Amino acid sequence: MCRSSVILFYGLWVKTWSLAFAAHAHEKIQPPLLALDLLIARRRSGKLVVEEQDLQTTARDLPEEVWELIKQETIDEAIHQEEEEAFELYRCPSCKFALGKNWETALDKDPFFGINGKKRKAEAWTDWRDPRCHECTTWIWRWHGDFAWQRRRAAVERMAALLAGFGLRVASKSTLCTNAEQSPRFDELSGLALPLQSSSESHNPAVDVNLRGDQHERHESAVLELSPTAIALPSNAELRFRRLISTYQLEPEDPTSSTITTNTLLPLDPSGATQSASESQDGAFRKDEPRWMLRVHAEADW
């Protein structure tokens, strides 16, 4: 069976692990976040009531910026905790030992693992942006096969809940890894998009083709019509992505390989020289800058 899918979306790409940590943290800290939002809203409207205190400064006297900082610190700490829990799950015993754990704790999962006792603390895996330890790669494959950020239904639902709060959604059910040979997939990416809807489907519209490949079915095709209203962006489109990335520490990436543009020549500039559409751009998109993208995905199982 061969499957192919083409998706048009307005959005950007982020490291899947950063989205997974953010979504899990967001789920866990919903009660305190809701309480802080309620407190901020009541203070803003002048309806915040507090008990009398001996101290001169009360919760009502604190500026809104202080409560926003408390809210952000709550989110940051929750995400950090998610990262540490993932390190505990995926980090190899040699790295755990180098970072100060005793032999028994480091080898609790595999007592026969050959610990590299000469590994220095600086060589241990401590940053998800820098998977420097080859032993960790072997360890992950041995015990987990690969990361499973979006393979569990609960994880996908957590991501959807986080994105919905910013008026966004995942661009596709399938993730992207520009290095197909990488394993584990540290560089796996997830597309974030403004919600679009097909007249015949409830999920993000895509042109999907499934082909069995037997002698009676050699080709298949499909076409979708694009409504002009679909590409009319809301006024706060870019703000949605900026708020999400900055609030939940997402790691944007740009996997695009080329840009589709017009070959129509633009009018003469004041110097009298013609300028093409591609040359008139201010430059390449930043990796944290949303834009229209066309994603193509194909897979086969025989």
Q: Which of 26, 297, 11 is nearest to 155 (CA)?
A: 26
3-state secondary structure (DSSP) of residue 105: helix
What's the pLDDT score for residue 81? 96
Of 7-16, 24-33, 263-272, the one with minimum mean pLDDT is 263-272
18 has a pLDDT exceeding 90? yes
Q: What angle do CA 191, 202, 190 make, to 5 degrees?
A: 10
Average pLDDT in the 84-104 region?
84
Residue 155 or 118, more confident: 155
Average pLDDT in the 145-158 region?
80
CA-CA distance, 171 to 210, in Å (whole number)? 20
Of 15-24, 91-100, 238-247, the one with minimum mean pLDDT is 91-100
Instruction: Assign 301 a pLDDT band (cuts: 50, 70, 90).
Output: low
CA-CA distance, 56 to 117, in Å (whole number)? 56
Of 71-75, 154-158, 196-200, the one with minimum mean pLDDT is 196-200
Strand pairing class (275-276; 265-266): antiparallel
98 has a pLDDT exceeding 80? yes
3-state secondary structure (DSSP) of residue 177: coil
3-state secondary structure (DSSP) of residue 292: strand
- Of 84-88, 172-176, 254-258, the range with the highest mean pLDDT is 84-88
Dihedral angle computed from the Cα positions of residues 226, 7, 287 and 179, in that order, rounded to the nearest 10 degrees: -160
What's the pLDDT score for residue 280? 41
Percent of the chain with pLDDT over 70: 74
Average pLDDT of the chain is 80
Instruction: Assign 275 a pLDDT band (cuts: 50, 70, 90).
Output: very low
Q: Which of 252, 249, 236, 137 is nearest to 194 (CA)?
A: 236
What's the pLDDT score for residue 218? 63
Question: By the 8 A CB rule, do 136 and 98 touch?
Answer: no
CA-CA distance, 143 to 134, in Å (whole number)? 15
Rounded to two decimals, what is the model's pTM?
0.80
What's the pLDDT score for residue 58? 62
Of 2-6, 208-212, 296-300, the one with minimum mean pLDDT is 208-212
CA-CA distance, 60 to 287, in Å (whole number)? 40
Question: By the 8 A CB rule, do 92 and 106 touch?
Answer: no
Average pLDDT in the 238-260 region?
93
Q: pLDDT for 133-146, tens place per residue?
A: 888 888 888 888 77
